Amino acid sequence: MTVYNVTKIQAQMILTGLILDEFASSRLISFCAISESRNLDYCIKILNNLQNPNVFSWNAVIRGCVESEDPQKGLVLYKRMLTRAGCRPDNYTYSFLFKVLKMGFDKDMYLYNGIIHMLVSVGELGLAHKVFDDGCVRDLVSWNSLINGYVRRRQAREAMGIYQKMITEQVKPDEVTMIGVVSACAQLESLELGRETHRYIEESGLDLKISLLFHAMPEKNVVAWNAIIGSYVQANLNLEALELFREMQLSNMKPDKIPSHEKALNI
Measured distance CA(178)–CA(201) in Å, rounded: 8
Q: Indicate whether 22 belongs to any domain.
A: yes
**Which residue pairs, CB below 8 angstroms and at least 24 apart, start in 109-114?**
109/137, 109/139, 110/75, 110/78, 110/79, 110/82, 111/75, 111/78, 112/137, 112/138, 112/142, 113/139, 113/141, 113/142, 113/145, 114/78, 114/89
Asked if 7 and 13 touch (Cβ cutoff 8 Å), the reply is no
Query: Using CA of residue 7, residue 10, residue 16, residue 17, what is the dihedral sign?
Result: negative
pLDDT at 164: 92
**Which residue pairs, CB below 8 angstroms and at least 24 apart, start in 192-195?**
193/160, 194/223, 194/224, 194/227, 195/227
Measured distance CA(229)–CA(15) in Å, rounded: 66
CA atoms within 13 A on the CB side of 77: 31
With CA atoms as reference, report the closest residue to 179 among 152, 139, 142: 152
Q: Indicate whether 76 belongs to any domain.
A: yes
pLDDT tens-place string over residues 197-246: 877 777 776 655 555 756 656 566 666 676 667 656 655 667 777 877 88
Q: Indicate whether 34 belongs to any domain.
A: yes
Residue 71 carries which side chain, given as an amino acid letter?
P
pLDDT at 38: 74
pLDDT at 168: 92
User: Which residue segment(s) compose the domain that 31 sits in?
Assistant: 1-88
pLDDT at 118: 77
Q: Indicate whether 53 belongs to any domain.
A: yes
pLDDT at 22: 77
Q: Indicate whether 220 belongs to any domain.
A: no
pLDDT tens-place string over residues 86-138: 778 888 888 887 777 777 666 778 778 888 887 887 788 888 898 888 877 78
When divided into structural domains, the chain yields a total of: 1
pTM for this model (two decimals)? 0.58
Asked if 64 and 38 touch (Cβ cutoff 8 Å), the reply is yes
Q: Indicate whether 57 belongs to any domain.
A: yes
Residue 250's pLDDT band, with cuts at 50, 70 and 90, is confident
Residue 255's pLDDT band, with cuts at 50, 70 and 90, is low
Q: Indicate whether 129 belongs to any domain.
A: no
Say which residue, 10 or 193, is predicted with more confidence.
193
pLDDT at 232: 62
Q: Indicate whether 131 belongs to any domain.
A: no
pLDDT tens-place string over residues 159-189: 999 999 999 999 988 877 887 887 788 788 7
Say which residue, 230 or 149, is predicted with more confidence.
149
